[in-house]
Amino acid sequence: MIFHVVTIFPEFFRGPFEHGVIQRAKEAGLIEIRVQDLRIWTHDRHRTVDDRPFGGGEGMLLKAGPIFEAVEAIYPARRENRRVVLLSAQGKKFDQALAREYSGLEELLLICGRYEGVDERVAQHLADDEISIGDYVLTGGELAAAVVIDAVARLLEGVLGNENSAVAESFSQNGLLDCPQYTRPAEFRGWKVPEVLLEGNHDAIRKWRKQAAREKTARLRPDLLEMREGKPI
Q: State the residues that interact with ligand 9D3 by CB under 6 A.
A: 87-89, 113, 116-117, 132-134, 136-141, 144
Cα of first residue to Cα of last residue in the chain, in angstroms, is: 38
DSSP element (H, E) containing 217 = helix 202-220
Q: Which is closer to ligand 9D3, CB of 117 or CB of 175?
A: 117
Amino acid at 103: S
Q: Which is closer to ligand 9D3, CB of 74 or CB of 110?
A: 110
Q: Which is closer to ligand 9D3, CB of 138 or CB of 205?
A: 138
What's the min distance (Å) between Cβ of 32 and ligand 9D3?
A: 22
What whole-number distance in Å separates Cα of residue 89 and Cα of residue 139? Answer: 9
* E strand segments, 79-225: 82-93, 107-112, 129-132, 187-188, 191-192
Q: Which is closer to ligand 9D3, CB of 88 or CB of 217?
A: 88
What's the min distance (Å) between Cβ of 15 and ligand 9D3?
A: 18
Q: Are 96 and 171 in contact (CB under 8 A)?
A: yes
What's the min distance (Å) between Cβ of 176 and ligand 9D3?
A: 26
What's the min distance (Å) between Cβ of 144 and ligand 9D3?
A: 3
